[in-house]
Amino acid sequence: MYREALAFSLREHRSEAEVSLVGSDDLVAEVERTGAHLVVANEVPHAAREAAFWIEVSKARSGESLGAEISADGYSRSVRDFHVKHLLEALDRAEEELVSETASQDEAVTPGPENGGPDEGLR
């Protein structure tokens, strides 16, 4: 029920985000398959940490708030009481990174003749 609630929040607040729900056994394969930008799990495997921004949510225990470790491209923090806003902040950072990467790739493309430049393709 936790992951369903989390996925619903993501889809509701960031409708452009594509959300996959997978079990822990399939997590790394799914990250590789989809090229996920953000992984949220109770335990984020090393391979997934290398590939994406991640949030490691503590296992839910009664009588304790739900904490989380968030790592988003050098922006890392621990929160003792994990809110949807923390989730969205991490997702937004992932999106910023994606936009930034895309812009860098665009800049790396030398304009062709139709754009007023020599037809040299990629530098």
Partner 1 sequence: MTPVRIVLADDHTMFREGMASVLASRGDVEVVGQGPHGIAAVDLVERHKPDVVITQVEHHPRRAEEILSAMRSASPKSRIVVLTMFDNLHYVRTLSRLGINAYVHKSSSVEELLATVSALSRNPEGDNVVVSMPRGSLEQIGDGHESALSDRELEVLVLVARGFSNRQVARDLHLSEATVKRHLANIYEKIGVGSRSDAVRTALAEQWIGFHEVVSADSDSPDGSGGRSL
Report helix, strand or coil for 108: coil
**d(C-alpha 28, C-alpha 47), whole Å:** 7
Q: How far is the CB of 108 from partner 1 (least distance, A)?
A: 39
Instruction: Assess contact for 88 and 13: CB atoms under 8 A.
Output: yes
Return the residue of 62, 104, 108, 116 that touches partner 1, per CB under 8 A.
62
Among 24, 34, 42, 65, binds partner 1 (CB under 8 A): 65
Q: Kindly tell me which of 28 and 68 has the beta carbon lying closer to partner 1.
A: 68
**What DSSP character marks residue 116?**
T
- Cβ-Cβ contacts under 8 Å for 25 (sequence gap 6 or more): none
77 touches partner 1 by CB under 8 A: no
User: Closer CB to partner 1, residue 28 or residue 70?
Assistant: 70
User: Which tokens is 108 given?
Assistant: 């790396």
Q: Restricting to residues 13-32, name those near partner 1 by CB under 8 A.
A: none
